[in-house]
Structure 1
Amino acid sequence: MSTIFRLDASIRQDGSVTRAVADTLEETIAEELGSPAVVRRDLGSNPIDPTLWPLAAFAGYTPEEQRTPEQVAAIQDAAALADEVVSADVLVFAVPLYNFGVSQHFKAWYDLVATDPRLSVGQSTVTGKPAFLVTARGGGYGAGTPREGWDHATGWMRRVLEDVWGLDLDVIETELTLAEVTPQMAELRDLAREQLAESHETARRSGRSVTIKLRPAA
């Protein structure tokens, strides 16, 4: 049986665009793979303790017999998180843009899981696995907009998922997600709805590509 690993970082349960688009993506992938197992990691409702990262990081440079109980526990936590990633056949990361940067919940998770040797720089054991990054931005950040260059999250996430881990990554981006609740963005609401609909369609199309990506090379 195939396994999907799905990570959500939105602090919203209801009304989250990343969760909604990831739902469409997951449903499509599940149809393609025939009822796979789904391992969920909801960082929005169950965040990683950020104090674990320095414990695990310094433990890697500490002889095993000299590690503190706290360091040992942190290493074990990192290994458990890494198990979820390494054992999956397909990975879905649903992470919104917060305050122009990376979600602190996603960053804390990545920092800890990357201390595991299987997911550290230059030693990735997930290279080539199909993966999807679903992200959303409240405003417009494209070329020519006032906020061009203010998205400091998507580039970083692509770097660590594509270049460090070597994942075969598709990125599904949705903008203007705050238009419906922001009076100053009222004139952009039709465009925002179009973008959201396009993101769901992209999720369906991308999800249907999974079986091709999982097919062994000839």
Structure 2
Amino acid sequence: MTLFRLDASIRTHGSASREIADIVEQEWRVAHSGDSVVTRHIGVDTLPSTVWAAAVTAGMTPAQEQTAEQRDAVALAATLVDELIAADAILFAVPLYNYGVSQHFKTYLDVVLADPRATGVPFLAGKPVVLATVRGGAYGPGTPREGWDHSTPYLRRVIADCWGAELTLVEREFTLVGVNPALDAFTDEAAQLHAGALQAAREAGRALGALPVPA
């Protein structure tokens, strides 16, 4: 079996979303020792900001008239979709940035959707996907930032509703407690949320690893 893992954090060390994803991956590896894990880190190895426009306009341009940039963009979109289709399970680690979707992951989604195989069809129908997402503050009901998380609902809509994947969400809040002194009053609550997220990651990884091998 193959696990495809994508990280969108701009950090390579100390990343809260990466911590969760590492646990999910480790649990999956316990059940699939020796199997393949394909990785892509778009927060570090970023996709070009112009690639989506090039891929979209390529679809409106006769093949003989496409520029080298357009052909490269189409090829990249195909590669990204190939990675998702080829995987038996998928792990996305995507933090909330500035109340919205990471620009790196939004570019990734746009480029994927530029491929005809992923346009308007649930091309990941039934495929298990774990989304590890983290938020620096608290955004739940009754909090001052309730409704300010414009990333998680969007990701649910695309991954589960548009792509048709079987989505499991593992999330952690208050990751900036201990970093931002203004949040010091929430130290105990943050510790509980952290522990809960790590446990949820272990459970999600075990569930992912327990899925039957495709025939």
Matched with 1:6 is: 5
DSSP-derived class of the 1:140 partner? coil
Equivalences, count: 215
Matched with 1:143 is: 141
Q: Which sections of structure 1, spanning at least 5 residues, go unmatched? A: none
- Deviation of residue 64 (structure 1)? 2.0
Could you list the per-position Cα deviations for residues 79-100 of structure 1 after superposition, in whole angstroms to 9, with x for gaps in the alignment?
1121111111110000000000
Could you list the per-position Cα deviations for residues 15-35 of structure 1 after superposition, in whole angstroms to 9, with x for gaps in the alignment?
111000100000001112233
- Deviation of residue 216 (structure 1)? 6.2
Matched with 1:79 is: 78
Distance 1:137 1:35 in 2: 33
DSSP-derived class of the 1:179 partner? coil
- Deviation of residue 66 (structure 1)? 2.5
DSSP-derived class of the 2:100 partner? coil
Amino acid at match of 1:44: G
Distance 2:208 2:22 in 1: 15
Matched with 1:34 is: 33
Contact 1:130 1:214 in 2 (8 A): no
Q: TM-score, normalised by structure 2?
A: 0.95
Contact 2:56 2:114 in 1 (8 A): yes
Distance 2:209 2:6 in 1: 21
Matched with 1:187 is: 185
Matched with 2:160 is: 162
Amino acid at match of 2:190: A
- RMSD of Structure 2 on Structure 1 (CA): 1.5
Amino acid at match of 2:23: T
Contact 1:18 1:134 in 2 (8 A): yes
Distance 2:62 2:161 in 1: 30
- Deviation of residue 58 (structure 1)? 1.4
Q: Which sections of structure 2, spanning at least 5 residues, go unmatched? A: none
